[in-house]
Chain A
Amino acid sequence: MATKQPPEPPAEGAASPANGGLSEADVVAMHSDPRFLLLKQRLYRFIFPMSLAFMVWYLLYVLMSAFARDLMSTPVLGQFNLALVFGVLQFVTTFGIAILYSSYSRKNLDPAAADVRKALEEKAADE
């Protein structure tokens, strides 16, 4: 519990997150450690392209709602026109990307993050 932690708060103690028992130098060194670089590469490889993709996909939807109304009113199935189908597809892709990200994280990110944490904790225990 936070209240029991530092007997003497460091300079600007409450202002910066508690160190969690890790030394600054170890954490900084970890930034260029292959284990961290692997985690970072795996994370960036997913989140940036995927963010770009859903933003473009959403923007396309909004732009078409604003500027391509004739096309959006095309009937697709009974009462369902393209605008409704496109809207429902935004729901589908949102759910889909969330599911995809979760399984990607479980397989690729969580183990890599655990490696980095373990390495740092072992270092802290050694010192």
Chain B
Amino acid sequence: MNASLQYLAAETTAVSDTSRAVTIVLFSLVVAATLYITVWASRRTHSATDFHSGGRGFNATQNGFAIAGDYMSAASFLGIAGMIALFGYDGFLYSIGFLVAWLVALLLVAELLRNSGRYTMGDVLSYRMQQRPVRTAAAVSTVTVSIFYLLAQMVGAGALISLLMGIQPGETYLGMSGETAKIVGIVVVGMLMTIYVSFGGMKGTTWVQIVKAVMLMTGAALLVLLTLSIYGFNFGALMSDAAEASGQGAAFLEPGLRYGVEVAGDPVQTLWNKLDLISLGMALVLGTAGLPHILIRFYTVPDSVTARKSVNWAIALIGTFYLFTLVLGFGAAAIVGHEAITAQDPAGNAAAPQLAQAVGAHFGGEVVGAVLLALIASVAFATILSTVAGLVIASSSSLAHDFYNSVLRRGKATDVEEVRVAKIAAGGIGLVAVVLAVFAQGLNVAFLVALAFAIAASANLPTILLSLFWKRFNTRGALSGIYGGLISAVGLVFFSPVVSGAETSLITGADFSWFPIANPALFSVPIGLVCAIVGTLTSKEQDFSKFAQIQVRALSGAGAEKAADH
């Protein structure tokens, strides 16, 4: 069975014109539906609370789907499925970090943040501190994390759209070469995300994320069912087929092919590789609850109990989804095969769409394969759109609320002014992201996602937790914590093989690397924490009354921001 399926996959790997036509129709439907949502939401967005927090009127299920939609980027859908397809177990290891991280958000952050903040992460960080410096730091950190994450998504989007359209090098489709299609993809995604955020605000963005999460879960579930049914719902048989087809044998089902690789005869490098794996695990687990676009989702519900329930929904959805990717990855390894996957995309990003095509062809011939491929491609497209929109609203809200209103206008700006600035900021961020992504499209920027998690883990999470739980914490501590974590995470990556000194580096032809591992969190999280503690203790400032207030508010929900009543 395995051999005939692989033969089938090889035959249908090239994207047919049927599939492209269906893909374009489905892409257009996704765009039309999301724009309709945006227009609908824009009519219902009046106040700053509507714009930044969607009026705080979403229920737990809606926000749970929106969180899942915001979090499960194209990188985690196509990237993890591809990683499992190529490296087996290690792709699964990655997704476990992404899931366990939600316990930090659930137990330590979601409810307390909802109760004590208003629109942004900066609200909680600055509550006890001198407003202007801390809010500036919060805005710097928010925008840095969001832009890095955004850039990785946008560059990926360009490549992905050209991949999903199946344009081979040297070939053109609708007059576009693969390179032109990438740029068109980046510009279209940039324009759409700016429109969603500027017009739809948080309401529009949230609904786009909900629709995407439903599409993603349905599409993935369908593909999982079809894949498993080929194996008579025997997952063990699928795994052995995958291990055999991968050419790695049993090693495919064990850790070590991608992370913590053991280099024969080089114990030092082996140790660094293993520390890199631990560092990555740390960034994933501690970073999630410090990502600004995730944090602001907790403000879109009426109260902290709903925030808790929405995190539970998110955990259920995200956990189920990562179990799906395990089937999809092993399925692609077994049915599509290593060679066909790397031929389409060396990083394996096309594995899930390729699996859709092969499975569809198995059940209903080439046309069904083409339709299923187009379906999964449009799910991936919706995935890109909703994640980038979440990142844009996080950074434009922070620029407008933390920087413009609180720092520049000292809190005197009206709602109307603040929302106007947020919309302009969304346009500015969209433009910057498009220009950077077009220039960076030839570069290997996948590391930016891990870097965004590392900054969130080193700069944001420690300061949020210390603000909520440490009585002595003060302005200098918060500033040292944020800037110390941010600078050490970015700095260590700058001097790592990611940027220079290796074949896959960002800059080739120069070598100024001395930090041996790609993921900085193992060092930058302790550095950020120590900076926050030392900064606090070297400053005399302490405001016990403010500490008492944030704790009473955060724990009990007294005086918390209410839902807007329209």
Q: Is the beta-carbon distance between A3 and B559 smaller than 8 angstroms?
A: no
Q: A40-B551, A121-B558 are in contact. Are A17 and B315 (CB under 8 A)?
A: no
A-B contact count (CB 8 A): 208
Q: Is the beta-carbon distance between B106 and A101 smaller than 8 angstroms?
A: yes
Least CB distance from B110 to A in Å reads 11
Tell me which residues from 49 to 67 in chain A have a Cβ below 8 Å from any Cβ of chain B. 50-51, 54-55, 58-59, 61-63, 65-67
- Cβ contact of A113, chosen from B93, B556, B559, cutoff 8 A: B556
Q: A14-B418, A21-B559, A24-B549 are in contact. Are A65 and B93 (CB under 8 A)?
A: yes
Q: A9-B412, A17-B127, A19-B559 are in contact. Are A2 and B47 (CB under 8 A)?
A: yes
- Cβ contact of B93, chosen from A22, A73, A79, A87, cutoff 8 A: A87
Bound-state Cα–Cα, A36 to B312, Å? 26
- CB of A125 within 8 A of chain B? no
- CB of B406 within 8 A of chain A? yes
Bound-state Cα–Cα, A89 to B545, Å? 44
- CB of B278 within 8 A of chain A? yes
- Cβ contact of A73, chosen from B239, B254, B549, cutoff 8 A: B254
- CB of A81 within 8 A of chain B? yes
Q: A14-B413, A27-B559 are in contact. Are A61 and B96 (CB under 8 A)?
A: yes
- CB of B537 within 8 A of chain A? no
Q: Is the beta-carbon distance between A94 and B255 smaller than 8 angstroms?
A: no
- Across the interface, name the chain B residue whose C-beta is closest to A4: B47
Bound-state Cα–Cα, A42 to B317, Å? 29
- Across the interface, name the chain B residue whose C-beta is closest to A73: B254
Tell me which residues from 1 to 39 in chain A have a Cβ below 8 Å from any Cβ of chain B. 1-3, 9, 11-22, 24, 27-28, 30-32, 36, 39
Chain A residue contacts of B236, Cβ below 8 A: 78-80
Number of interface residues of B (CB under 8 A): 77
Least CB distance from B122 to A in Å reads 9
Bound-state Cα–Cα, A90 to B92, Å? 11
User: Which of B97-105, B215-223, B485-493 contacts its partner?
Assistant: B97-105
Q: Is the beta-carbon distance between A13 and B411 smaller than 8 angstroms?
A: yes
Chain B residue contacts of A72, Cβ below 8 A: 254-255
- Cβ contact of B253, chosen from A28, A31, A79, A98, cutoff 8 A: A79
Least CB distance from B71 to A in Å reads 14
Number of interface residues of A (CB under 8 A): 66
Least CB distance from B528 to A in Å reads 17
Chain A residue contacts of B89, Cβ below 8 A: 83-84, 87
- Cβ contact of B555, chosen from A28, A32, A40, A58, cutoff 8 A: A40
Chain A residue contacts of B126, Cβ below 8 A: 15-16
- CB of B107 within 8 A of chain A? yes
- Across the interface, name the chain A residue whose C-beta is closest to B414: A3
Q: Is the beta-carbon distance between A12 and B555 smaller than 8 angstroms?
A: no
Q: List 30 A-B contacts (CB under 8 A).
A: A11-B411, A13-B411, A14-B413, A15-B135, A16-B127, A18-B118, A20-B562, A31-B548, A40-B555, A51-B103, A55-B285, A58-B281, A61-B96, A65-B277, A69-B254, A69-B255, A79-B239, A79-B243, A84-B253, A87-B93, A91-B319, A94-B102, A94-B315, A97-B103, A101-B106, A101-B107, A101-B308, A102-B309, A102-B312, A120-B558
Contacts A9-B412, A14-B406 aside, 18 further interface pairs with beta carbons under 8 A come to A1-B49, A14-B401, A17-B118, A20-B559, A20-B560, A28-B549, A30-B552, A47-B107, A58-B97, A66-B259, A69-B255, A84-B89, A84-B253, A87-B92, A87-B93, A102-B312, A113-B557, A117-B557
Q: What is A's interface to B at a CB cutoff of 8 Å?
A: 1-3, 9, 11-22, 24, 27-28, 30-32, 36, 39-40, 43, 46-47, 50-51, 54-55, 58-59, 61-63, 65-67, 69, 72-73, 78-81, 83-84, 87, 90-91, 94-95, 97-99, 101-102, 105, 110, 113, 116-117, 120-121
